[in-house]
Amino acid sequence: MQAMSLKVEDDILLDAEHFVKRRKISRNAYINEAVKAYNALERRRELREKLATESKLVAADSLAVLKELEQIVELHEA
Protein backbone atom coordinates (compact mmCIF):
# COMPACT_ATOMS: atom_id res chain seq x y z
CA MET A 1 0.00 0.00 0.00
CA GLN A 2 1.28 3.45 -0.83
CA ALA A 3 0.93 6.60 1.24
CA MET A 4 -0.30 9.82 -0.31
CA SER A 5 -1.10 13.33 0.72
CA LEU A 6 -4.16 15.18 -0.46
CA LYS A 7 -6.04 18.39 0.17
CA VAL A 8 -9.78 18.11 0.65
CA GLU A 9 -12.27 20.96 0.62
CA ASP A 10 -13.66 21.71 4.08
CA ASP A 11 -17.28 20.79 3.29
CA ILE A 12 -16.25 17.49 1.71
CA LEU A 13 -14.10 16.63 4.71
CA LEU A 14 -16.94 17.47 7.13
CA ASP A 15 -19.28 15.13 5.25
CA ALA A 16 -16.63 12.41 5.20
CA GLU A 17 -15.96 12.78 8.93
CA HIS A 18 -19.69 12.45 9.60
CA PHE A 19 -19.86 9.14 7.76
CA VAL A 20 -16.59 7.89 9.21
CA LYS A 21 -17.96 8.38 12.74
CA ARG A 22 -21.37 6.99 11.85
CA ARG A 23 -19.92 3.84 10.29
CA LYS A 24 -17.16 3.53 12.90
CA ILE A 25 -14.41 3.05 10.34
CA SER A 26 -11.12 4.84 9.84
CA ARG A 27 -10.84 7.84 7.58
CA ASN A 28 -8.33 5.87 5.53
CA ALA A 29 -10.79 2.98 5.04
CA TYR A 30 -13.53 5.43 4.08
CA ILE A 31 -11.35 7.20 1.52
CA ASN A 32 -10.21 3.87 0.06
CA GLU A 33 -13.84 2.78 -0.32
CA ALA A 34 -14.73 6.11 -1.93
CA VAL A 35 -11.89 5.93 -4.44
CA LYS A 36 -12.73 2.30 -5.23
CA ALA A 37 -16.38 3.22 -5.87
CA TYR A 38 -15.41 6.18 -8.04
CA ASN A 39 -12.99 4.03 -10.03
CA ALA A 40 -15.80 1.54 -10.69
CA LEU A 41 -18.02 4.40 -11.88
CA GLU A 42 -15.30 5.65 -14.22
CA ARG A 43 -14.76 2.11 -15.58
CA ARG A 44 -18.49 1.92 -16.40
CA ARG A 45 -18.35 5.33 -18.11
CA GLU A 46 -15.31 4.25 -20.10
CA LEU A 47 -17.03 1.01 -21.13
CA ARG A 48 -20.20 2.90 -22.12
CA GLU A 49 -18.16 5.26 -24.31
CA LYS A 50 -16.29 2.36 -25.91
CA LEU A 51 -19.55 0.50 -26.57
CA ALA A 52 -21.10 3.58 -28.16
CA THR A 53 -18.07 4.08 -30.40
CA GLU A 54 -17.97 0.45 -31.47
CA SER A 55 -21.73 0.37 -32.02
CA LYS A 56 -21.41 3.29 -34.43
CA LEU A 57 -18.67 1.43 -36.29
CA VAL A 58 -20.83 -1.66 -36.89
CA ALA A 59 -24.20 0.06 -37.32
CA ALA A 60 -24.07 0.18 -41.12
CA ASP A 61 -22.97 -3.44 -41.39
CA SER A 62 -25.69 -4.51 -38.97
CA LEU A 63 -28.37 -2.80 -41.06
CA ALA A 64 -27.03 -4.42 -44.22
CA VAL A 65 -27.14 -7.87 -42.63
CA LEU A 66 -30.66 -7.22 -41.36
CA LYS A 67 -31.82 -6.27 -44.87
CA GLU A 68 -30.27 -9.44 -46.30
CA LEU A 69 -32.00 -11.56 -43.67
CA GLU A 70 -35.33 -9.88 -44.42
CA GLN A 71 -34.87 -10.64 -48.13
CA ILE A 72 -34.13 -14.29 -47.34
CA VAL A 73 -37.28 -14.52 -45.19
CA GLU A 74 -39.35 -12.89 -47.95
CA LEU A 75 -38.02 -15.33 -50.55
CA HIS A 76 -38.71 -18.26 -48.25
CA GLU A 77 -42.29 -17.10 -47.56
CA ALA A 78 -43.08 -16.49 -51.25
N-terminal to C-terminal alpha carbon distance within the chain: 69
pLDDT at 27: 96
Give the model's pLDDT for residue 78: 73
- Kindly indicate the confidence band of residue 26, based on its pLDDT and cuts at 50, 70 and 90: very high
Q: What is the pTM of this model?
A: 0.68
How far is 35 from 22, CA to CA, in rounded Å? 19
Q: Residue 6 belongs to what H/E stretch? A: none
Residue 59: the pLDDT is 83
* Of 41, 3, 8, nearest in space to 20 by CA: 8
Per-residue pLDDT at 17: 97
> Each residue of 1-12: pLDDT tens digit?
999 999 999 999
Return the pLDDT at 77: 85
